[in-house]
Amino acid sequence: MATLTGQLDSMRAPPEESRWPDSFRASRFVPAVEYLQANRVRMRMIEEVHAALGDFDLFIGSNLALTNLTGHPEISLPSGFFEGSPTSLRFTGKLFGEAEILRLAHAYQAATDHHLRHPAM
């Protein structure tokens, strides 16, 4: 309520204490109507990604912004080096498809030695 009425300044910590709670309070406030609308959009996104995956258990690649919103599981594995820098491979699965991507990740890691290698110092 203090955020709506502009009384957020009265909740400030003394100067010697952290200002993090203040920024947290201000940035995390979302009116209930907007929160519900955002969750409706999020649900549509989840349904559309689920429909797009169809019969696939997973795909190789990543869209982290999308999977953070939809909750689709993702795993990142070392895949070697490019110009001395480590590279990674990502498997993205269906909703509740953690078991499938973990089995594939385990098989991939068992068949390669990328997880044992280190970049040159």
Specify the pLDDT at position 112. Answer: 92
- Tell me if 8 is assigned to some domain: no
Specify the pLDDT at position 42. Answer: 93
Instruction: Specify the range with the lowest mean pLDDT, choosing from 22-31, 39-48, 81-90.
Output: 22-31
- Tell me if 6 is assigned to some domain: no
Specify the pLDDT at position 91. Answer: 92
**How many other CB atoms are there within 10 angstroms of residue 72's CB atom?**
23
- Tell me if 73 is assigned to some domain: yes
Domain total of the chain:
1
In DSSP notation, 26-67 reads HHH---HHHHHHHHHHHHHHHHHHHHHHTT-SEEES--HHHH
Instruction: Specify the range with the lowest mean pLDDT, choosing from 20-29, 44-53, 88-97.
Output: 20-29
From CA 52, how far away is CA 64, in angstroms rounded?
16
What residue numbers bound the domain in which 87 lies? Answer: 19-116
- Tell me if 11 is assigned to some domain: no
Residue 37 has pLDDT above 60, yes or no: yes
Q: Are 72 and 62 in contact (CB under 8 A)?
A: no
Q: Read off the pLDDT of each residue in 68-95 and give the average, rounded to a whole number.
A: 91
pTM higher than the cut 0.75: no
Using DSSP, how many helices (H) and how many strands (E) does the chain show?
5, 3
- Tell me if 1 is assigned to some domain: no
Q: Average pLDDT of the chain?
A: 83
